[in-house]
């Protein structure tokens, strides 16, 4: 289904959009795709591990919450529905907000991959943040033959800071270039010396993962993501900048841009309580603290 993205004048295929804001902490079970492009919603299942300090849906961000993914895979999403829509072997764009918790680490953002190295299981795309602070897009061309494309610089190296990222796979003749955007601005283009990279093939049995990958379910260090969008076309620089500006304004409407959960001292109690969201999204009748 062709949709218009934000305030853009271009028509594009907008497949999926995850806000990760369904319920506080670990109360949500389903990650809802609010766009439901193509043949329908691509909802997934949250993986949460007790206690809640291992991951959950935390206050702050687009729509009021974001997902915090811990070392043990808690907070990631599996079992995405209408999977054929997401088996993208051509041009595509993924945009998301990203935050690293106190450590330079490898963080898988989203992947479409199978369970082995045969061509039907081939990885069609995988986007990650590397330990160096570089962004990466990876896929397979031929059974088990990896195509790994990295940004040339450590463009998301600062810890404890939110970034808006977009990774675009754009046609270059019969091959593809990869473009990396940070905070609405193109910061790096990888074109393999001008010839582009051979695109992915196979993948008819691949499955989708958010916040983990098929080969290794454990990210190496906790991180946070929010407002993940997936398109099966290469967005323009103007489209990506529009998404960044609109989502930044939406986050700021909650009073602070992606403010982390804080302990707030309740007057006259001498005790700290974790901040709890107020307003109509609050699952309690009395807003305030949890």
Domain-by-domain residue ranges, the chain?
2-259, 264-290
| Positive/negative CA dihedral, 66, 100, 275, 243 | negative
Report the pLDDT averaged over residues 205-219: 89
**Alpha helices (H) in the chain, listed in sequence order:** 237-252
What is the CATH topology of the domain spanning 2-259?
Jelly Rolls (2.60.120)
pLDDT of residue 40: 95
Average the pLDDT over each of 23-27, 64-68, 164-168, 273-277 and give the range with the smallest value. 273-277
Report whether pLDDT(3) > 50: no
Closest CA to 290 of 75, 60, 59, 70: 59
**Contact criterion met (CB below 8 Å) for 283 and 27:** yes
Task: State the DSSP H helix or E strand holding residue 117, giving kind and residue range, or none if neither.
Answer: none
Distance CA 70, CA 209 (A): 15
CA neighbor of 244 nearest in space, from 204, 184, 200, 186: 184
More confident residue, 4 or 58: 58
Instruction: List, for residues 47-81, the tens digit of each pLDDT value.
Output: 999 888 889 999 988 988 999 999 888 999 999 99
- Contact status, residue 81 vs residue 70, Cβ threshold 8 Å: no
What would the pLDDT profile of 79-136 be if each residue is shown by its tens digit? 999 999 999 999 999 999 999 998 899 999 999 999 998 999 999 999 999 999 999 9
Q: Which pTM does this prediction carry?
A: 0.85
């Amino acid at each position: 289904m062709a949709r218009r993205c934000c305030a853009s004048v271009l028509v594009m295929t907008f497949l999926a959009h995850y806000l990760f804001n369904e319920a506080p902490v670990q109360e949500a079970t389903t990650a809802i795709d609010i766009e439901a492009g193509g043949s329908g919603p691509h909802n997934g299942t949250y993986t949460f591990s007790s206690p809640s300090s291992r991951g959950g849906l935390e206050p702050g961000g687009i729509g009021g919450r974001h997902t915090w993914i811990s070392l043990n895979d808690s907070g990631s999403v599996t079992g995405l529905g209408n999977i054929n829509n997401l088996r993208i072997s051509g041009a595509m764009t993924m945009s998301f907000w990203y935050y690293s918790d106190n450590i330079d680490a490898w963080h898988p953002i989203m992947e479409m991959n199978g369970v082995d190295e045969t061509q039907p299981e081939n990885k069609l795309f995988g986007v990650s943040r590397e330990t160096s602070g570089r962004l990466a897009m990876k896929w397979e061309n031929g059974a088990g033959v990896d195509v790994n494309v990295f940004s040339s610089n450590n463009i998301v190296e600062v810890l404890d800071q939110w970034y808006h990222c977009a990774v675009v796979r754009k046609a270059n003749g019969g091959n593809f270039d990869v473009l990396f955007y940070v905070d609405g601005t193109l910061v790096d283009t990888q074109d393999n010396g001008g010839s582009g990279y051979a695109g992915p093939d196979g993948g008819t049995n691949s499955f989708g993962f958010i916040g983990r990958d098929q080969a290794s379910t454990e990210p190496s260090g906790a991180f946070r993501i929010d407002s993940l969008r997936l398109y099966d076309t290469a967005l323009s620089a103007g489209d990506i900048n529009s998404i960044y500006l609109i989502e930044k304004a939406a986050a700021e409407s909650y009073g602070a841009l992606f403010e982390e959960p804080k302990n707030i001292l309740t007057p006259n109690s001498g005790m700290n309580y974790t901040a709890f969201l107020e307003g109509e999204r609050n699952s309690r009748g009395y807003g305030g603290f949890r």
